[in-house]
A and B are shown apart, each in its own frame.
Chain A
Protein backbone atom coordinates (compact mmCIF):
# COMPACT_ATOMS: atom_id res chain seq x y z
CA UNK A 1 0.00 0.00 0.00
CA UNK A 2 2.73 2.44 1.02
CA UNK A 3 4.59 1.68 -2.18
CA UNK A 4 1.45 2.24 -4.20
CA UNK A 5 0.98 5.66 -2.58
CA UNK A 6 4.60 6.56 -3.22
CA UNK A 7 4.19 5.52 -6.84
CA UNK A 8 1.11 7.69 -7.18
CA UNK A 9 2.96 10.63 -5.65
CA UNK A 10 5.78 10.23 -8.13
CA UNK A 11 3.26 10.17 -10.97
CA UNK A 12 1.72 13.38 -9.66
CA UNK A 13 4.98 15.24 -9.76
CA UNK A 14 6.10 14.16 -13.19
CA UNK A 15 5.29 17.10 -15.46
CA UNK A 16 3.08 16.10 -18.35
CA UNK A 17 5.62 16.87 -21.02
CA UNK A 18 8.28 14.67 -19.46
CA UNK A 19 6.43 11.58 -20.51
CA UNK A 20 7.34 10.76 -24.09
CA UNK A 21 4.18 10.74 -26.16
CA UNK A 22 3.79 9.07 -29.54
CA UNK A 23 3.33 11.66 -32.26
CA UNK A 24 3.53 11.93 -36.03
CA UNK A 25 5.08 14.52 -38.31
CA UNK A 26 2.29 15.74 -40.61
CA UNK A 27 4.62 17.11 -43.31
CA UNK A 28 8.27 16.85 -44.34
CA UNK A 29 10.12 18.75 -41.61
CA UNK A 30 13.67 19.62 -40.60
CA UNK A 31 14.84 18.10 -37.34
CA UNK A 32 16.87 20.91 -35.74
CA UNK A 33 19.64 20.71 -33.16
CA UNK A 34 18.19 23.71 -31.28
CA UNK A 35 14.68 25.19 -31.18
CA UNK A 36 15.43 27.79 -33.88
CA UNK A 37 15.10 28.01 -37.67
CA UNK A 38 18.77 28.97 -38.07
CA UNK A 39 20.02 26.02 -35.96
CA UNK A 40 21.87 23.13 -37.59
CA UNK A 41 19.67 20.50 -39.23
CA UNK A 42 20.11 17.04 -37.69
CA UNK A 43 18.00 15.26 -40.30
CA UNK A 44 15.08 15.72 -42.60
CA UNK A 45 11.97 13.91 -41.43
CA UNK A 46 9.57 12.61 -44.05
CA UNK A 47 5.84 13.15 -43.86
CA UNK A 48 4.21 10.62 -41.49
CA UNK A 49 7.42 9.84 -39.58
CA UNK A 50 6.52 8.45 -36.17
CA UNK A 51 8.36 10.20 -33.32
CA UNK A 52 8.21 10.54 -29.56
CA UNK A 53 7.38 14.02 -28.33
CA UNK A 54 9.43 14.99 -25.26
CA UNK A 55 8.96 18.68 -24.40
CA UNK A 56 7.75 21.94 -25.87
CA UNK A 57 9.54 25.26 -25.96
CA UNK A 58 7.38 27.96 -27.48
CA UNK A 59 6.82 27.00 -31.14
CA UNK A 60 9.15 24.00 -31.02
CA UNK A 61 8.84 20.47 -29.68
CA UNK A 62 11.80 18.25 -28.81
CA UNK A 63 11.33 14.81 -30.32
CA UNK A 64 13.06 11.48 -30.51
CA UNK A 65 12.98 10.41 -34.16
CA UNK A 66 14.46 7.33 -35.87
CA UNK A 67 17.16 9.67 -37.22
CA UNK A 68 18.04 11.07 -33.78
CA UNK A 69 16.89 13.65 -31.24
CA UNK A 70 16.16 17.26 -32.02
CA UNK A 71 13.52 19.94 -32.38
CA UNK A 72 10.67 20.24 -34.90
CA UNK A 73 8.10 22.97 -35.43
CA UNK A 74 5.31 22.33 -32.99
CA UNK A 75 2.58 22.76 -35.60
CA UNK A 76 4.16 20.03 -37.74
CA UNK A 77 3.29 17.49 -35.02
CA UNK A 78 0.08 15.69 -34.21
CA UNK A 79 -0.23 13.38 -31.27
CA UNK A 80 -1.05 9.74 -31.76
CA UNK A 81 0.52 7.03 -33.89
CA UNK A 82 0.82 6.99 -37.69
CA UNK A 83 -2.50 7.72 -39.32
CA UNK A 84 -3.26 10.52 -36.88
CA UNK A 85 -1.32 12.59 -39.36
CA UNK A 86 -3.85 12.50 -42.18
CA UNK A 87 -5.31 15.98 -42.15
CA UNK A 88 -8.93 16.04 -41.06
CA UNK A 89 -9.03 12.29 -40.72
CA UNK A 90 -8.24 12.12 -37.02
CA UNK A 91 -10.69 14.89 -36.28
CA UNK A 92 -13.57 13.21 -38.01
CA UNK A 93 -12.97 9.89 -36.34
CA UNK A 94 -12.62 11.63 -32.98
CA UNK A 95 -15.91 13.40 -33.48
CA UNK A 96 -17.50 10.18 -34.57
CA UNK A 97 -16.25 8.42 -31.48
CA UNK A 98 -17.52 11.15 -29.23
CA UNK A 99 -20.90 11.15 -30.91
CA UNK A 100 -21.07 7.41 -30.49
CA UNK A 101 -20.19 7.50 -26.80
CA UNK A 102 -22.36 10.54 -26.29
CA UNK A 103 -25.59 9.04 -27.57
CA UNK A 104 -25.30 5.75 -25.74
CA UNK A 105 -25.77 6.31 -22.04
CA UNK A 106 -24.63 2.77 -21.31
CA UNK A 107 -21.19 3.38 -22.81
CA UNK A 108 -20.44 6.47 -20.76
CA UNK A 109 -19.29 4.54 -17.76
CA UNK A 110 -16.80 7.16 -16.58
CA UNK A 111 -19.60 9.78 -16.64
CA UNK A 112 -17.91 12.72 -14.92
CA UNK A 113 -20.33 14.98 -13.11
CA UNK A 114 -20.38 18.69 -13.67
CA UNK A 115 -20.70 20.71 -16.80
CA UNK A 116 -22.11 18.47 -19.51
CA UNK A 117 -24.99 19.01 -21.92
CA UNK A 118 -27.56 17.54 -19.50
CA UNK A 119 -26.48 19.73 -16.62
CA UNK A 120 -26.65 22.80 -18.84
CA UNK A 121 -30.12 21.94 -20.09
CA UNK A 122 -31.39 21.53 -16.52
CA UNK A 123 -29.55 24.51 -15.02
CA UNK A 124 -31.49 27.03 -12.94
CA UNK A 125 -30.03 30.56 -12.63
CA UNK A 126 -27.73 31.17 -9.69
CA UNK A 127 -27.67 34.96 -9.25
CA UNK A 128 -25.79 34.76 -5.93
CA UNK A 129 -22.85 33.09 -7.65
CA UNK A 130 -22.89 35.75 -10.37
CA UNK A 131 -22.72 38.41 -7.66
CA UNK A 132 -19.73 36.65 -6.16
CA UNK A 133 -18.06 36.51 -9.56
CA UNK A 134 -18.40 40.28 -10.04
CA UNK A 135 -16.54 40.71 -6.78
CA UNK A 136 -13.46 39.03 -8.28
CA UNK A 137 -13.36 41.27 -11.38
CA UNK A 138 -10.19 43.29 -11.95
CA UNK A 139 -10.08 46.99 -12.84
CA UNK A 140 -8.08 47.92 -15.96
CA UNK A 141 -5.52 49.62 -13.69
CA UNK A 142 -5.01 46.60 -11.49
CA UNK A 143 -4.68 44.37 -14.56
CA UNK A 144 -2.08 46.73 -16.04
CA UNK A 145 -0.04 46.59 -12.81
CA UNK A 146 -0.29 42.81 -12.85
CA UNK A 147 0.93 42.72 -16.47
CA UNK A 148 3.85 45.00 -15.65
CA UNK A 149 4.87 42.69 -12.79
CA UNK A 150 4.99 39.82 -15.28
CA UNK A 151 7.07 41.97 -17.67
CA UNK A 152 4.40 41.73 -20.31
CA UNK A 153 4.97 44.37 -22.99
CA UNK A 154 1.86 45.38 -24.96
CA UNK A 155 2.32 45.19 -28.75
CA UNK A 156 0.55 46.62 -31.78
CA UNK A 157 -0.66 43.61 -33.73
CA UNK A 158 -3.16 43.80 -36.59
CA UNK A 159 -6.09 41.40 -37.03
CA UNK A 160 -5.58 38.58 -39.51
CA UNK A 161 -8.69 37.78 -41.57
Chain B
Protein backbone atom coordinates (compact mmCIF):
# COMPACT_ATOMS: atom_id res chain seq x y z
CA UNK B 1 0.00 0.00 0.00
CA UNK B 2 2.72 2.39 1.07
CA UNK B 3 4.76 1.61 -1.99
CA UNK B 4 1.78 2.18 -4.21
CA UNK B 5 1.04 5.48 -2.52
CA UNK B 6 4.64 6.57 -3.01
CA UNK B 7 4.47 5.63 -6.67
CA UNK B 8 1.30 7.66 -6.97
CA UNK B 9 2.90 10.62 -5.26
CA UNK B 10 5.84 10.40 -7.64
CA UNK B 11 3.46 10.21 -10.55
CA UNK B 12 1.47 13.16 -9.25
CA UNK B 13 4.64 15.20 -8.94
CA UNK B 14 5.37 14.56 -12.61
CA UNK B 15 1.93 15.79 -13.64
CA UNK B 16 0.51 19.31 -13.66
CA UNK B 17 -1.28 19.98 -10.38
CA UNK B 18 -4.60 20.48 -12.10
CA UNK B 19 -4.57 17.02 -13.72
CA UNK B 20 -8.00 15.55 -13.12
CA UNK B 21 -8.16 11.81 -12.63
CA UNK B 22 -8.87 9.40 -9.87
CA UNK B 23 -7.61 6.02 -8.76
CA UNK B 24 -9.81 3.87 -6.57
CA UNK B 25 -9.81 5.37 -3.04
CA UNK B 26 -6.94 7.81 -3.71
CA UNK B 27 -7.64 11.40 -4.53
CA UNK B 28 -4.62 12.69 -6.45
CA UNK B 29 -5.64 16.30 -6.16
CA UNK B 30 -5.91 15.99 -2.43
CA UNK B 31 -2.41 14.55 -2.21
CA UNK B 32 -1.01 17.25 -4.46
CA UNK B 33 -2.76 19.90 -2.38
CA UNK B 34 -1.42 18.59 0.90
CA UNK B 35 2.06 18.30 -0.57
CA UNK B 36 1.89 22.06 -0.98
CA UNK B 37 0.81 22.42 2.59
CA UNK B 38 4.31 22.08 4.01
CA UNK B 39 4.48 22.71 7.71
CA UNK B 40 0.91 21.78 8.52
CA UNK B 41 1.78 18.39 9.95
CA UNK B 42 4.28 19.98 12.34
CA UNK B 43 1.42 20.41 14.75
CA UNK B 44 0.06 16.95 14.03
CA UNK B 45 2.87 14.87 15.50
CA UNK B 46 1.89 13.96 19.01
CA UNK B 47 4.29 13.00 21.78
CA UNK B 48 4.08 9.18 21.33
CA UNK B 49 4.84 9.64 17.61
CA UNK B 50 7.72 11.95 18.39
CA UNK B 51 9.16 9.37 20.80
CA UNK B 52 8.70 6.53 18.29
CA UNK B 53 10.50 8.48 15.53
CA UNK B 54 13.23 9.31 18.02
CA UNK B 55 13.75 5.65 18.90
CA UNK B 56 14.20 4.71 15.25
CA UNK B 57 16.71 7.54 14.77
CA UNK B 58 18.55 6.73 17.98
CA UNK B 59 18.91 3.06 16.95
CA UNK B 60 20.39 4.23 13.64
CA UNK B 61 22.89 6.56 15.32
CA UNK B 62 23.87 3.66 17.58
CA UNK B 63 24.43 1.65 14.42
CA UNK B 64 27.10 4.19 13.42
CA UNK B 65 28.82 4.10 16.81
CA UNK B 66 27.98 1.91 19.83
CA UNK B 67 27.97 3.06 23.45
CA UNK B 68 31.19 3.25 25.42
CA UNK B 69 31.19 0.02 27.40
CA UNK B 70 31.36 1.63 30.83
CA UNK B 71 28.20 1.45 32.95
CA UNK B 72 29.50 3.86 35.56
CA UNK B 73 30.24 6.57 32.99
CA UNK B 74 26.91 6.03 31.25
CA UNK B 75 24.94 6.24 34.52
CA UNK B 76 26.85 9.36 35.54
CA UNK B 77 26.02 11.15 32.28
CA UNK B 78 22.38 10.06 32.70
CA UNK B 79 22.24 11.54 36.20
CA UNK B 80 23.57 14.90 35.00
CA UNK B 81 21.26 14.92 31.98
CA UNK B 82 18.13 13.79 33.81
CA UNK B 83 18.65 16.43 36.48
CA UNK B 84 18.92 19.14 33.81
CA UNK B 85 15.89 17.83 31.90
CA UNK B 86 13.90 18.01 35.15
CA UNK B 87 14.42 21.80 35.09
CA UNK B 88 12.46 22.12 31.84
CA UNK B 89 8.84 22.15 30.66
CA UNK B 90 9.23 18.69 29.10
CA UNK B 91 10.44 16.88 32.19
CA UNK B 92 7.96 14.06 31.52
CA UNK B 93 9.73 12.78 28.36
CA UNK B 94 11.60 9.45 28.65
CA UNK B 95 14.99 11.18 28.77
CA UNK B 96 18.04 9.03 28.18
CA UNK B 97 21.66 9.95 27.58
CA UNK B 98 24.48 7.97 26.02
CA UNK B 99 28.21 8.31 25.41
CA UNK B 100 29.03 7.04 21.92
CA UNK B 101 32.32 5.24 21.43
CA UNK B 102 33.73 7.58 18.77
CA UNK B 103 36.89 9.73 18.80
CA UNK B 104 35.20 12.63 16.98
CA UNK B 105 33.89 15.60 18.95
CA UNK B 106 30.14 15.90 18.69
CA UNK B 107 26.79 15.66 20.40
CA UNK B 108 23.34 14.84 19.02
CA UNK B 109 19.78 15.36 20.14
CA UNK B 110 17.10 12.99 18.95
CA UNK B 111 13.37 13.83 19.11
CA UNK B 112 11.59 12.54 22.18
CA UNK B 113 14.42 12.96 24.68
CA UNK B 114 17.42 10.88 23.59
CA UNK B 115 20.77 12.67 23.73
CA UNK B 116 24.19 11.45 22.62
CA UNK B 117 27.63 12.82 23.27
CA UNK B 118 30.81 11.33 21.82
CA UNK B 119 33.70 9.98 23.87
CA UNK B 120 35.96 12.40 21.96
CA UNK B 121 34.05 15.41 23.26
CA UNK B 122 33.73 14.06 26.81
CA UNK B 123 37.49 13.53 26.93
CA UNK B 124 38.10 17.20 26.16
CA UNK B 125 35.94 18.39 29.04
CA UNK B 126 37.27 19.37 32.42
CA UNK B 127 34.23 19.57 34.68
CA UNK B 128 30.66 18.47 35.24
CA UNK B 129 29.60 22.06 34.50
CA UNK B 130 31.08 21.70 31.00
CA UNK B 131 29.20 18.43 30.49
CA UNK B 132 26.04 20.11 31.81
CA UNK B 133 26.51 22.97 29.33
CA UNK B 134 26.68 20.62 26.35
CA UNK B 135 23.81 18.39 27.52
CA UNK B 136 21.67 21.50 28.15
CA UNK B 137 22.32 22.69 24.60
CA UNK B 138 21.14 19.32 23.27
CA UNK B 139 18.13 19.28 25.63
CA UNK B 140 16.99 22.57 24.06
CA UNK B 141 16.93 20.95 20.60
CA UNK B 142 14.46 18.41 22.02
CA UNK B 143 12.39 21.02 23.92
CA UNK B 144 12.01 23.19 20.85
CA UNK B 145 11.59 20.18 18.50
CA UNK B 146 14.26 21.53 16.18
CA UNK B 147 15.05 18.18 14.56
CA UNK B 148 11.46 17.00 14.48
CA UNK B 149 10.42 20.11 12.57
CA UNK B 150 13.34 19.78 10.16
CA UNK B 151 12.56 16.11 9.46
CA UNK B 152 8.93 16.97 8.84
CA UNK B 153 9.81 19.73 6.47
CA UNK B 154 12.10 17.44 4.49
CA UNK B 155 9.54 14.65 4.43
CA UNK B 156 6.72 16.95 3.38
CA UNK B 157 8.60 18.49 0.50
CA UNK B 158 9.96 15.18 -0.72
CA UNK B 159 7.19 12.67 -0.01
CA UNK B 160 4.23 15.00 -0.12
CA UNK B 161 1.74 15.72 2.63
CA UNK B 162 -0.33 12.55 2.97
CA UNK B 163 2.59 10.19 2.37
CA UNK B 164 4.63 12.09 4.94
CA UNK B 165 1.80 11.96 7.44
CA UNK B 166 1.52 8.21 6.92
CA UNK B 167 5.26 7.76 7.26
CA UNK B 168 5.15 9.64 10.54
CA UNK B 169 2.37 7.46 11.92
CA UNK B 170 3.19 4.03 10.51
CA UNK B 171 6.31 2.44 11.95
CA UNK B 172 6.61 -0.29 9.32
CA UNK B 173 6.96 0.50 5.67
CA UNK B 174 9.05 1.97 2.93
CA UNK B 175 7.97 5.55 3.63
CA UNK B 176 9.05 5.19 7.25
CA UNK B 177 12.51 3.99 6.18
CA UNK B 178 12.71 7.02 3.92
CA UNK B 179 11.73 9.26 6.80
CA UNK B 180 14.44 7.82 9.05
CA UNK B 181 17.00 8.27 6.30
CA UNK B 182 15.97 11.93 5.99
CA UNK B 183 16.43 12.19 9.72
CA UNK B 184 19.86 10.57 9.69
CA UNK B 185 20.94 12.77 6.82
CA UNK B 186 19.96 15.79 8.88
CA UNK B 187 22.65 14.88 11.40
CA UNK B 188 25.21 15.24 8.63
CA UNK B 189 23.73 18.47 7.25
CA UNK B 190 22.87 20.29 10.44
CA UNK B 191 20.01 22.48 11.61
CA UNK B 192 19.40 26.15 10.90
CA UNK B 193 22.02 28.37 12.47
CA UNK B 194 19.29 30.14 14.41
CA UNK B 195 18.33 26.82 16.07
CA UNK B 196 21.94 26.37 17.22
CA UNK B 197 22.16 29.88 18.64
CA UNK B 198 18.86 29.37 20.45
CA UNK B 199 20.15 26.09 21.89
CA UNK B 200 23.28 27.90 23.13
CA UNK B 201 21.30 30.68 24.85
CA UNK B 202 18.70 28.45 26.45
CA UNK B 203 21.34 25.84 27.20
CA UNK B 204 23.05 28.38 29.44
CA UNK B 205 19.70 29.06 31.13
CA UNK B 206 19.04 25.36 31.79
CA UNK B 207 22.55 24.83 33.20
CA UNK B 208 21.94 27.83 35.49
CA UNK B 209 18.61 26.35 36.60
CA UNK B 210 20.34 23.09 37.40
CA UNK B 211 22.70 24.98 39.71
CA UNK B 212 25.85 24.69 37.56
CA UNK B 213 28.50 27.28 36.74
CA UNK B 214 27.05 28.83 33.60
CA UNK B 215 30.43 29.11 31.90
CA UNK B 216 30.49 25.37 31.14
CA UNK B 217 29.16 25.69 27.59
CA UNK B 218 31.32 28.71 26.65
CA UNK B 219 34.34 26.86 28.04
CA UNK B 220 33.69 23.87 25.77
CA UNK B 221 33.21 26.20 22.80
CA UNK B 222 36.51 27.83 23.63
CA UNK B 223 38.26 24.45 23.86
CA UNK B 224 36.96 23.61 20.40
CA UNK B 225 37.89 27.06 19.11
CA UNK B 226 41.44 26.52 20.35
CA UNK B 227 41.81 23.25 18.46
CA UNK B 228 43.17 23.00 14.96
CA UNK B 229 40.22 23.63 12.69
CA UNK B 230 41.50 20.99 10.31
CA UNK B 231 41.46 18.29 12.95
CA UNK B 232 39.38 15.60 11.28
CA UNK B 233 37.65 14.89 14.59
CA UNK B 234 35.95 18.27 14.21
CA UNK B 235 34.89 17.98 10.57
CA UNK B 236 31.28 16.92 11.12
CA UNK B 237 30.71 19.30 14.01
CA UNK B 238 32.06 22.25 12.03
CA UNK B 239 29.99 21.28 9.03
CA UNK B 240 26.79 21.17 11.09
CA UNK B 241 27.28 24.09 13.52
CA UNK B 242 28.20 27.77 13.31
CA UNK B 243 31.92 28.37 14.03
CA UNK B 244 32.71 28.29 17.77
CA UNK B 245 34.02 31.88 17.67
CA UNK B 246 30.71 33.05 16.24
CA UNK B 247 28.81 31.14 18.93
CA UNK B 248 30.96 32.70 21.65
CA UNK B 249 30.29 36.16 20.18
CA UNK B 250 26.53 35.49 20.24
CA UNK B 251 26.63 34.28 23.85
CA UNK B 252 28.64 37.35 24.85
CA UNK B 253 26.09 39.62 23.21
CA UNK B 254 22.95 38.20 24.75
CA UNK B 255 23.90 36.11 27.75
CA UNK B 256 26.57 38.02 29.65
CA UNK B 257 24.26 39.00 32.56
CA UNK B 258 22.94 35.43 33.01
CA UNK B 259 26.42 33.98 32.62
CA UNK B 260 27.83 36.26 35.28
CA UNK B 261 24.95 36.00 37.74
CA UNK B 262 25.34 32.20 38.05
CA UNK B 263 29.06 31.85 37.44
CA UNK B 264 29.83 31.09 41.08
CA UNK B 265 27.74 27.91 41.06
CA UNK B 266 29.61 24.57 41.33
CA UNK B 267 31.79 23.25 38.48
CA UNK B 268 32.29 19.81 40.10
CA UNK B 269 35.73 19.16 38.64
CA UNK B 270 36.58 16.26 40.97
CA UNK B 271 33.31 14.38 40.58
CA UNK B 272 33.67 14.68 36.81
CA UNK B 273 37.23 13.37 36.90
CA UNK B 274 36.18 10.39 39.03
CA UNK B 275 33.03 9.42 37.11
CA UNK B 276 33.47 10.41 33.48
CA UNK B 277 36.78 8.72 32.75
CA UNK B 278 36.76 5.28 31.24
CA UNK B 279 38.30 2.67 33.52
CA UNK B 280 41.60 1.77 31.90
Contact = CB atoms under 8 A, between A and B. Distances in A.
Interface in B247-262: 248-249, 251-252, 254-256, 258-260, 262
B82 A126 contact: no
B245 interface: yes
Contacts of B82: 137-140, 142-143
B165 interface: no
B263 A130 contact: no
Interface string B83-124: 100110001001111101111101000000010001010001
Contact of A154 (B81, B209, B256): B209
Interface stretch (B14-22, B27-35, B39-47, B60-68): B60-68
A133 B126 CA distance: 24
B62 A147 contact: no
Contacts of B97: 136-137
Contact of A125 (B63, B67, B106): B63
Q: Determine chain B's interface SS by DSSP, over half rule.
A: helix
B74 A136 contact: yes
Contacts of B185: 121
A146 B83 contact: yes
A115 B96 contact: no
B106 A115 contact: yes
A152 B210 contact: yes
A159 B75 contact: no
Contacts of B66: 126, 129
Interface of A: 15-17, 21, 23, 56, 58-59, 74-80, 84, 87-88, 90-95, 97-99, 101-102, 108, 110-117, 119-127, 129-130, 132-134, 136-140, 142-144, 146-147, 150-161
Given A114-B104, A125-B59, A152-B268, 16 more contacts: A59-B263, A75-B248, A75-B259, A84-B245, A88-B246, A98-B235, A119-B65, A120-B64, A121-B188, A126-B60, A126-B63, A132-B67, A136-B71, A143-B79, A159-B205, A160-B202
